[in-house]
């Protein structure tokens, strides 16, 4: 009973009519068709009223389907990539680089009213129609979407010869309280003090590729510091994710590393 009432609260909190479509589409995720194309392994984590399903799209683009809420993070690429996925209730953008932010994709995959949450730099680059439904959130700030908290975690380079890629103060990672689970989408970052000091993370997405973010050793060290329950390497083009997993496993913290092919 409490489960269904919490779902109703979520649905009522979401303005767009597409939320009901998205919620209704969730059972389809376990159908053979969806499983073959998008879910090749355990891609769920438990949440308060069910589970959260991770749908990796490509590189840094991902979809999370929680009870009553579908969220896209950094969707780029041809809108057809998203055609079989549940409609987004909310879209997050971490920063302005082309592998994270694309106006045509945002227009192609979202409805007229789909809300966007971005960092301030992306907000200032949005055309008027998208800006009208966007909210900017700066580093270390928090906003609420229904009963979900969205915390903007600083995402930046710390190595001297990489500082120009993601200067401190501009780009976001996000920590979400999603149906009772804590989800960290790191964005493009190194293993900053802010990442290392996170606690209670159930599900994390961490980048690794040089020169833009960090190598697998640095990523593994950062992940061992904040010890999420489950971590997906993403944004890892050309990196040895098996080596990352071996390093995290060797750390002995019981972190589940999920290696998904984000480039198929
Ligand atoms: Zn970037």
Whether residue 26 contacts residue 18, with contact meaning beta carbons closer than 8 Å, is answered with: no
Residue 194 alpha carbon to ligand 1 centre in Å: 18
- The most distant pair of C-alpha atoms in the chain lies apart, rounded to whole Å, by 55
Residue 212 alpha carbon to ligand 1 centre in Å: 7
Residue 173 alpha carbon to ligand 1 centre in Å: 11
* Domain chopping of the chain, boundaries: 2-257
Q: Which residues of the chain have pLDDT under 70?
A: 1-41
Whether residue 256 contacts residue 232, with contact meaning beta carbons closer than 8 Å, is answered with: no
pLDDT for 111 equals 85
CA distances 192 to 101, 155, 169, 222, Å, are 22, 8, 12, 8
Compute the distance between CA of residue 215 and CA of residue 162 in angstroms, rounded to an integer.
12
Query: Would you identify the CATH topology of the domain 2-257?
Result: Metallo-beta-lactamase; Chain A (3.60.15)
pLDDT for 41 equals 67
Q: pLDDT digits over 110-168, tens only?
A: 888 999 999 999 999 999 999 999 999 999 999 999 999 999 999 999 988 899 999 99
How many percent of the chain have pLDDT more than 70? 84
Residue 139 alpha carbon to ligand 1 centre in Å: 16
Residue 200 alpha carbon to ligand 1 centre in Å: 26
pLDDT for 256 equals 97
Residue 219 alpha carbon to ligand 1 centre in Å: 16
Residue 207 alpha carbon to ligand 1 centre in Å: 10
pLDDT for 7 equals 39
pLDDT for 6 equals 41
């Amino acid at each position: 009973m409490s489960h269904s009432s919490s779902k109703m609260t979520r649905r009522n909190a979401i303005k767009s009519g597409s939320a009901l479509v998205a919620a209704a589409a969730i059972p389809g995720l376990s159908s053979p068709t969806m499983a073959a194309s998008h879910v090749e392994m355990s891609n769920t984590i438990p949440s308060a009223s069910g589970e959260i399903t991770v749908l990796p799209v490509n590189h840094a683009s991902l979809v999370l389907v929680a009870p009553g809420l579908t969220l896209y993070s950094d969707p780029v690429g041809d809108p057809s990539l998203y055609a079989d996925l549940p409609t987004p209730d909310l879209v997050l953008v971490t920063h302005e680089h082309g592998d994270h932010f694309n106006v045509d994709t945002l227009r192609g995959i979202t409805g007229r009213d789909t809300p966007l949450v971005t960092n301030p730099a992306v907000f200032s680059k949005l055309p008027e129609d998208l800006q009208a439904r966007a909210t900017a959130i700066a580093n270390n700030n928090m906003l609420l979407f229904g009963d979900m908290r969205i915390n903007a975690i600083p995402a930046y380079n710390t190595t001297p010869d990489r500082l120009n890629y993601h200067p401190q103060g501009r780009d976001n990672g996000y920590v979400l309280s999603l149906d009772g689970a804590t989800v960290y989408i790191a964005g493009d970052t190194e293993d900053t003090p802010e990442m290392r000091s996170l606690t209670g993370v159930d599900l994390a997405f961490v980048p690794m590729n040089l020169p833009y973010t960090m190598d697998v050793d640095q990523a593994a060290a950062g992940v061992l510091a904040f010890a999420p329950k489950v971590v997906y390497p993403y944004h890892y083009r050309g990196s040895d994710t098996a080596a990352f997993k071996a390093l995290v496993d060797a750390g002995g913290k019981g972190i589940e590393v999920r290696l998904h092919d984000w480039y198929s």
